[in-house]
């Protein structure tokens, strides 16, 4: 089972911007307590690499990945820190080639069939559909994905996904897991609202099970 297959078993991946590496383990523990031991830590903050490293070292059973990976150097940093996968809001052939060379499972961002074909050429198993709602929502993704269903490529829609529209996204057969920006918000992390994050994670897990009939 690939790492992206594993992510699909959860159906939702918390997408997290975190400013203080000291919050890394409390954040991980909050997500684990909610039954969602997975996170995409975005490289939008200076603390991202250290956060990934702390979680990977001290909570090895948590699946931690790197988001907003835009360059080869960031891909190297993510892998060195212990990230098990990486994602980007866009697609860059040079970064994809480098990620493949160093053995970092990578899901680039796409909005069109042409970009999807670039990802396929580079052997990607999953792509991020971003920004998901502004790009046309579940119906747009359904139509983009349909001609490529035979390739087995999966999708991770992110951007505007909420508990209210989660069922629409998961109804698209090729969606493996959505990006859940609502689960661990930057303000809640900064304020140490760990109980709220745990409850958001628990609710997301329950909602995915309800939708999937599990």
Q: Which residues are catalytic?
A: 40, 128
Kindly state the tokens that stand for 20: 């203080």
Residues 57 and 87: their CA atoms lie apart, in Å, by 21
> 41: Cβ–Cβ under 8 A, 6 or more apart, which residues?
16, 18, 48, 51, 52, 55, 64, 65, 66, 67, 83
DSSP labels, 189-211: HHHT-HHHHHHHHHHHHHHHHHH
List, in sequence order, the alpha helices (H) in 59-177.
72-81, 93-102, 113-121, 137-145, 166-170
């Amino acid at each position: 089972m690939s790492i992206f297959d594993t992510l699909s078993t959860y159906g939702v991946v918390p997408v997290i911007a975190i400013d203080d590496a000291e919050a890394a383990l409390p954040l991980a523990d909050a997500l684990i307590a909610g039954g969602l031991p997975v996170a995409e830590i975005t490289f939008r903050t200076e603390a991202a690499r250290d956060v990934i490293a702390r979680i990977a070292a001290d909570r090895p059973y948590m699946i931690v990945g790197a988001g907003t990976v835009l360059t080869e150097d960031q891909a190297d940093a993510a892998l060195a820190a212990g990230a098990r996968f990486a994602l980007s809001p866009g697609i860059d052939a040079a970064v994809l080639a480098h990620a493949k060379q160093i053995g970092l499972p990578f899901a680039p961002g796409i909005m069109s069939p042409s970009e999807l074909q670039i990802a396929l050429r580079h052997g990607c198993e999953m792509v991020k559909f971003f920004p998901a709602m502004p790009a046309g929502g579940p119906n747009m993704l359904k139509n983009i994905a349909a001609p490529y269903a035979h390739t087995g490529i999966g999708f991770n829609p992110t951007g505007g996904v909420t508990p209210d529209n989660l069922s629409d996204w998961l109804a698209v057969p090729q969606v493996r897991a959505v990006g859940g920006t609502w689960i661990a918000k930057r303000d809640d992390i900064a304020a140490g609202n760990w109980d709220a994050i745990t409850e958001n994670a628990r609710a997301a897990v329950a909602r995915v099970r309800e939708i999937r009939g599990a």
